[in-house]
Amino acid sequence: MAQLYFRYSTMNAGKSTEILKIAHNYEEQNKRVMLCTPALDDRFGRGLITSRMGFQREALILDNHVDVVERVRQQQPDCVLVDEGQFLTRTQVISLARVVDEVGVPVIVYGLKNDFRNRLFPGSESLLLFADKIEEVKTVCWYCPKKATMLIRMRDGRPVSQGAQVEIGGNDKYVSVCRRCYAQRLPLE
């Protein structure tokens, strides 16, 4: 039975690598996958899912003009894989739920749960509400051996607590940390 999965973590947990691995496994069995990424994610180029390990695949850009339900009906993939789910809109998440419910195709979405201020991203909030299964992808704190659950945005080597929710970046701008290490550097609000 098809389900909508939301697999979340902080940065540097291997989410994009996992999507590319799943796609490879499906295709190795002669099954079709549809790879998708939100239009906002352009760090490595528009329409690309790229892992920090250097693996890369083209993906359908999900913007306000793409009818993902119709695309799935036309292309008939065995699975839909979505990277950077935190950048999805509520409407897009509902469309992915319709892919599961109306077309019967499983959808696996990977993304961040919370931003550097420990607020939910709109896409993540919608995924937490609509997903059939919610799974955490674990990674380790930048500063200690505990599990990372939060992000710190860095500017000129210093933690910052103000700014726009979305600022595309990687290790140059963010570190994944546990709650204790976050609180040692920034106040919990």
Report the catalytic residues: 84
Sign, Cα dihedral of 113, 114, 120, 121: negative
Tokens of 100: 């599961």
| Angle in degrees, 0-180, between the axes of helices 90-98 and 122-130, rounded to the nearest 10 | 30
**Where do the H-state alpha helices sit in the chain?**
15-28, 68-75, 90-98, 122-130, 179-185
> What's the chain's Rg over C-alpha atoms?
17
- In sequence order, which residues have a C-beta less than 8 Å from that of residue 76 and are 6 or more positions away? 32
Farthest-apart Cα atoms in the chain, separation: 51
Phi, psi (degrees; rounded to nearest 5) at 70 = -65, -40
